Chain A
Amino acid sequence: MKNLRLIVLRELDHFRGWFYLLLGLAGFTVLLHVLVLTILPGMYLAEFLVVMKSYVVPGVFGILCAMMGYADSPEHGSHEFKTRPVRLKTLYLGKVTVIAGTAVALVLVQALMSWFAGFPLGLWKLWVPLFLVGLGFFFLAALLRPTIFSALQLVVVIRLPWALGDLWHVFLRGRDGLAIYPMSFLALSFVSAVYLFGVFLAKNSLRKRYLWGLFIPLAALVVGAGVWLLPVGQRVVSADLIEGSLEERFRPELRFEPLSNGMIRLEVIEPKSDQGAIHRLRFESRVVELVGEGGTMRRIPIFQRSYSSFDSSEEDELLMALGLVPRYTEEQLDRIVTYTPNSRLVVSGSRNFEIPAELRGQSLEIRSEGVASYWETESLGVLPIRVGKKINNKNLSVEIVDVDDGKYLISLRVHARNGARIRLGAFQKNLENPSLPYGEIKWLTNHGVIDGMSTVDIMKVDIHKSQIEESPEVAVLHLFSMTYRGVAPFRSKSVLFDGKKSLEKRQLMKADYPIRPSISATESE
């Protein structure tokens, strides 16, 4: 213990060269950025800082871990200290002190950067787990042998910050975050497989040493599974909240409509929802239950697939192939959004399914089960279409940074301030289309959701030619945001469907709306 201070100094000494290199690179990047700022309008310090804190800071942490491992590897390390009677406890205490000190320093740097970039919230959510997981790895390794580091250094540098970033997503988003985690999971498995291959190619003592290298991938998997199982990550809202919203705020309607081809359309309609600050539910049916006359019951699972065009990505395909739910499932029954004259939204969605052969021609009782996503919608207000105009709320800041009259394109710089899932939309008055006299909605965020604090984005919005031409000074965008709050299971009330009657287009099997909503929340599991 007497030598702890000097051991800490020694550890610092081992990566001093790297530290100078990183400092130099950071200085160069800042210089470059200042140059870019003066040349290219529309680039901001905030974007730069976001990149810095997302990549450079974890990178520094990874390199630090690696260098401390390097310092004690048998091939390169300092024999000086390994052949001195330095107690391992003291040595590792020194290392941990350095790691902890650096982590704290990095958190401060991160906090400063974030503060400058305009992200006052959510910092601890990234850095506390990062710090703890990093420290956990370290202690785990420390319990073994110092040589573990020499084999792990490459994996640590390349993989650890990445894996921690993934975990951070899972941590912030709960189960929904897992939709992106499997990609990292696959990558990690791939890395492990390559590593194993290398282990078996290597000989003798090397093999033994490299085997330790499996620790990090395995540990990452274990931590990932742990986070997945944590109830804290799920963001489940209470059934009461949904029930309350159903009763008080708006009254969605679940309808089953027979189609001429023997199919039935399941339809959710939310008529006349408030456009302003309302809590909205989106219903995603997972199963339809059909009960025949003899009590025969069939449960038809609804194919979990987002059918809004921009969400049908390759990633979704892959996740579905793996049996995992696609990323943004709240789109599933959400097709049509219209802006009605009395300032209300009508949202509806539909899904077709087939009646099983044995139940055709019978009177059926039909109900559906699924998950209701709970979103908080908030109007940001009206933004005049002029450069420099800015609008804020607690989650978002939107500024018009460019208006290209020639191409009728607006560039918006959007900051998301916390880790919530936020959609950003805009209405624009459309004077030319008589069927949509009050304009149509535009989802500004491409994938529907902003990735929380990591997003500072420049987004492009088409504006209608006539609006600018007719009255440029009053041309406005009406912006609104939707913040994801969680999910709760729901079950619809049963509706009767008389299959013996002829199929008519308008034969709607309505529930008891408007007396009560046809959908009720069930207790969260």
Chain B
Amino acid sequence: MSAVSFKKVSKFFMGKCALSQLTMEVPEGKVTAFLGPNGAGKTTAIKLMLGLDSPTEGEITVRGTSSEQLGAGDFESIAYVSENQKLPLWMTVQRYLDFCRPLYPSWDDELEARLLEQYQLPMKSKLKHLSRGQLMKVSLLSNLAFRPKLIVLDEPFSGLDPLVRDELIGGLLEFSESEGWTVFISSHDIEEIERLADHVAIIKDGILQSNESTDSLLARFRRVLVPLKEGAEVPAGISKEWFGIEKAGRFLTFMHDRWGEGALRKLQEELGEIVDGEVRGEVLSLRDILVALSKNPQLKR
């Protein structure tokens, strides 16, 4: 079942396309990473999802409600944390939590206390006197304490130091696993997302490039290393499934996006006698896959 469903959603700003025919499902109870370079349309998609703006075309459903109809009742179970979020900086941490608490019937005081202890926040300081990391902690705390069903995070970790980042990710991982919350997290920097995401959607220039489970994505992409015989030349017109072909010394390297037993066999047939030794397929990181997809839009699937 999907927590969020995008159906042919497009968004134009002054004639400029920010999102084009985006169709995507966000699976319930999973952590979905929404990846893409800056300006890819991630924040736009999130704003549309939360009803902060209206799509030019298409429809978005969030937990069974159209995004444009989301009201106070729906937001009682939706958490939203964004890097651009303007918190009321004149409030103290205590006052801010006091403000949020009565809005949510499901606010969990014990969880709040636990998170406060974990994050070590100065309760009497005004938000404007906190560091960026502390602000993000406050924001996250105020969004986790009511035990939301859907957590939307827009670039939550950008500009944070690794320690804070690890702490926040650790917390999120813990809750998403133990509570079964649906997490939708956008980022242009994917290293920290890799260990978090069950599902990955990749977007570029407003167009969805890939949308599948992390395991499936990691399984089908490989960097292939082919040792060549002395003086061997790479034949012209080789498989279209290869991309990013490079020849360094006696090794031919390229990317493959349909890796598997069949792919290996086919490869050995195509290269035939020029191979000198074992052909290896190295596992790629999400980052490498994102870079490969960004450079080779023909790989869209």
Contact = CB atoms under 8 A, between A and B. Distances in A.
A3 B103 contact: yes
B75 interface: yes
A10 B90 CA distance: 8
Interface residues on A, range: 20 to 34
B88 A80 contact: yes
B103 A79 contact: no
Nearest to B75: A85
Interface of A: 2-3, 6, 9-10, 13, 74, 77-80, 82-88, 202-206
Interface string B69-100: 00011111010101011111111000100011
A9 B13 CA distance: 33
B15 A203 contact: yes
Interface of B: 11-15, 47, 50-54, 56, 72-76, 78, 80, 82, 84-91, 95, 99-100, 102-104
30 contacts: A2-B102, A3-B99, A3-B102, A13-B88, A13-B89, A74-B52, A79-B47, A79-B84, A79-B85, A79-B86, A80-B86, A80-B87, A80-B88, A82-B50, A82-B52, A83-B75, A83-B80, A84-B103, A85-B103, A85-B104, A86-B72, A86-B103, A87-B72, A203-B12, A203-B15, A204-B15, A205-B11, A205-B53, A205-B54, A206-B13
Contacts of A9: 88, 90-91
B12 A204 contact: yes
A202 B72 contact: no
Contacts of A10: 88
A84 B140 CA distance: 13
Contacts of A84: 75, 100, 103
Contacts of B91: 6, 9
B177 to A, nearest CB: 25
Contacts of B100: 84
Contacts of A13: 88-90
A78 B84 CA distance: 9
Given A74-B53, A85-B73, A204-B12, A79 B102 contact: no
A77 B47 CA distance: 12
Nearest to B78: A83
A331 to B, nearest CB: 54
Contacts of A78: 85-86, 88
Given A78-B86, A79-B52, A88-B72, A202 B14 contact: yes
A83 B46 CA distance: 12
A86 B72 CA distance: 6
B216 to A, nearest CB: 31
B72 A79 contact: no
Contact of A83 (B15, B52, B102): B52
* Most A C-beta atoms less than 10 A away, residue of B51, B75, B88: B88
A205 B56 CA distance: 6
List the 3 closest A-B pairs by CB distance, nearest first: A85-B72, A83-B80, A85-B75
Contacts of A204: 12, 15, 56
A98 to B, nearest CB: 14
Given A78-B85, A82-B50, 7 more contacts: A13-B89, A74-B53, A79-B86, A80-B87, A80-B88, A83-B75, A84-B103
A78 B95 CA distance: 18
Nearest to B50: A83
Nearest to B90: A13
Nearest to B76: A85
A79 B88 contact: no
